[in-house]
């Protein structure tokens, strides 16, 4: 009972209870894992449109020149070349190249930045950023001032344009400020599902009003973290704590395209060394030959029964009608298409090594 | 409250059994399917295998978890519901009828004394919260 007492509640907690959601602890927050059912919510996101409560994410506002303040050095991607009103994905690393967090950086103005980080790591991230920026920058933690609703699915634009007619002009990974139910708020065309979608950053105390209004539209249903996990795994997105951690570098996680070696950043030296020496392990996709699904922590075996890795995330893929997952595998021990096994010594399930994205047919860029 | 069928017997692991002469049909209860959520995979036993009471009969996976199904009674497996292999979600929709898992030829009818009646199972669910 004591653990429940310290769980944080989002501004939509009452809404979830009223919708009879099953609530679970997630990264220190009490979050909805499902409403009517994980597969139904998954299907509705792929075919129509759903809303997710993502208010547990951390949000920081930073004002300052990104180079002079030291801000740019904190991230693996370059902030310098970002056009205003665009977002960029990347990582913050420790000196050993391990990942402190993955995040989205938004450039609001030439010298004004909005950073969205994982809920479970938000206070660690805030501390890290504040430690590495100098007095020329102002840091503000807005986590408890901003609620966040993701609206995702092929019909999400049709719903959003009823509330914000200008939303139709927003490109993938762009954002802007729009009037939405009387509030001027940041809306970005980003997401975590592989479908067309938007992330809405709304004043904390008014987020429930927006949630209720969105659910009044025909075709809009709520979706929980259970559906979100299947959607992100099919789309090939990493989840911090599974595919990324302080002991995993972006190179091992297969995220080198989000690392810009033409700039300086914390952890660069370690990554260059790792690049030169070669990786010991790398994240790969696993596709089961059956509906039996890989599960986090299971062992990955070569065809010769040699232990070659561990599953970091796994699920049943409704899109492929098969079990899918991702796992870290010893670099020399695999090639794409190779037959492998996952499971335990007693129960090894046949599968194939694949890329990490299983679902590429989505409406994401439509 | 989960649906409980009056004519069946139940285990603490939430399997049900329907005894008809020397044949028993086995499945999982409504409570079990609710707890599991959407079922995505089932590994059925081999027909003509022997199974002991409360030993593993099948394994099942849902979008949330993997777990084992135990046999409510001892016997020889005479039939399995092979339709579940391609469509295990039938268990979510009809756990007491179309979602049956296996039929066995009972080896010891007295074993039913180790099982709960519907009334006892209802109380068990309430007391286990």
- Give per-residue pLDDT as tens, B75-88: 999 999 999 999 99
| CA-only gyration radius of chain A, Å | 21
Two tokens, residue A282: 């790398």
The residue of A314, A316, A324, A325 whose CB has the most chain B CBs within 10 angstroms, and thus the best one to mutate to test that interface, is A316
Q: How far apart are CA B55 and CA B69, in angstroms?
A: 8
Give me the residue from B37, B41, B89 closest to A293, CB to CB: B41
Residue with tokens 């139940």: B10
| CA-only gyration radius of chain B, Å | 13
**Strands of A29-34's sheet, edge to edge?**
A8-9, A29-34, A22-26
Give me the residue from A226, A290, A292 closest to B63, CB to CB: A226
> How many contacts, defined by CB atoms under 8 Å, are there between A and B?
36
Where in chain A is CATH 3.30.70.1400?
A: 58-141
Distance from CA of A343 to the nearest CA of B (A): 12
pLDDT along chain A (366 residues), means of 10: 72 98 95 96 98 98 98 98 98 98 98 97 98 98 98 98 97 98 98 98 98 97 98 98 98 98 98 96 97 97 95 97 97 90 95 97 90
Q: Which fold has domain A2-55+144-235?
A: Gyrase A; domain 2 (3.30.1360)
Where in chain A is CATH 3.30.1360.120?
A: 2-55+144-235
CB of A303 closer than 8 Å to CB of A340: yes
Q: Identify the CA nearest to B33 among candidates B101, B83, B79.
A: B101
Give me the residue from B37, B41, B64 closest to A291, CB to CB: B41
Where in chain A is CATH 2.40.30.110?
A: 280-366
Q: How far apart are CA B55 and CA A115, in angstroms?
A: 53
* Structural domains of chain B, with CATH: 9-127 (2.40.50.100)
Q: What is the pTM of this model?
A: 0.93
* Reported ipTM: 0.82
CB contact under 8 A, B66 and A37: no
Residue B78's pLDDT is 97
Q: Which fold has domain A280-366?
A: Elongation Factor Tu (Ef-tu); domain 3 (2.40.30)
CB contact under 8 A, A39 and B89: yes
CB contact under 8 A, A292 and B61: yes
Residues 45-84 of A with CB under 8 A from B: none
Class of domain A58-141: alpha beta
A11, burial (CB in 10 Å: exposed 0-12, middle 13-18, buried 19+): buried
């Amino acid at each position: 009972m004591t653990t429940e007492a310290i769980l944080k509640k989002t501004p939509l907690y009452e809404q979830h209870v009223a919708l009879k959601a099953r609530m679970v602890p997630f990264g220190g927050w009490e979050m909805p894992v499902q409403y009517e059912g994980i597969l139904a919510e998954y299907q509705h996101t792929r075919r129509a449109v759903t809303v997710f409560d993502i208010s547990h994410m951390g949000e920081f506002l930073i004002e300052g020149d990104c180079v002079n303040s030291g801000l740019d050095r904190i991230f693996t991607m370059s902030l310098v070349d970002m056009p205003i009103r665009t977002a960029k994905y990347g990582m913050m690393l420790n000196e050993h190249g391990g990942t402190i967090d993955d995040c989205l950086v938004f450039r609001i103005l030439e010298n004004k930045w909005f950073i969205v980080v994982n809920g479970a790591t938000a206070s660690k991230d805030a501390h890290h950023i504040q430690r590495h920026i100098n007095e020329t920058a102002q840091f503000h933690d807005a986590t408890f001032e901003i609620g966040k609703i993701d609206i995702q699915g092929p019909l999400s634009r049709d719903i959003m344009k009823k509330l914000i007619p200008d939303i139709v002009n927003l490109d993938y990974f762009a954002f802007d400020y729009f009037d939405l139910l009387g509030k001027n708020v940041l809306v970005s065309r980003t997401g975590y599902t592989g479908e067309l979608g938007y992330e809405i950053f709304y004043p904390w105390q008014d987020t429930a009003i927006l949630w209720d209004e969105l659910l009044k539209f025909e075709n809009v249903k709520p979706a929980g973290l259970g559906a979100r996990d299947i959607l992100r795994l099919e789309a090939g997105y990493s989840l911090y704590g599974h595919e990324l951690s302080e002991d995993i570098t972006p190179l091992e996680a297969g995220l080198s395209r989000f690392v810009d070696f033409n700039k300086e950043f914390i952890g660069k030296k370690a990554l260059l060394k790792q690049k030169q020496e070669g990786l010991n392990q790398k994240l790969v996709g696993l596709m089961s030959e059956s509906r039996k699904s890989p599960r986090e922590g299971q062992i990955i075996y070569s065809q010769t029964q040699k232990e070659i890795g561990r599953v970091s995330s796994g699920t049943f893929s409704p899109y492929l009608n098969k079990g899918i997952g991702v796992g870290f595998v010893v670099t020399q021990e695999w090639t794409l298409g190779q037959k492998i096994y996952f499971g335990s010594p007693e129960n090894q399930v046949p599968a194939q090594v694949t890329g990490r994205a299983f679902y590429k047919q989505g409406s994401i860029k439509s | 409250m989960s649906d409980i069928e009056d004519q069946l017997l139940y285990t603490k692991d939430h399997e049900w059994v329907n005894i008809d002469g020397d044949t028993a049909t086995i499945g999982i209860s409504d409570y079990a399917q609710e707890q599991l959520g959407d079922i995505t995979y089932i590994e059925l036993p081999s027909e003509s295998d022997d199974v002991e009471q409360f030993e593993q009969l099948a394994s099942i996976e849902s979008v949330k978890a993997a777990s084992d199904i135990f046999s409510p009674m001892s016997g020889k497996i005479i039939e399995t519901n092979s339709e579940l292999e391609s469509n295990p979600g039938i268990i979510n929709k009809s756990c007491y009828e179309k979602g049956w898992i296996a039929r066995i030829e009972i080896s010891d009818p007295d074993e039913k004394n180790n099982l709960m009646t519907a009334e006892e199972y209802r109380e068990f669910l309430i007391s286990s919260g």
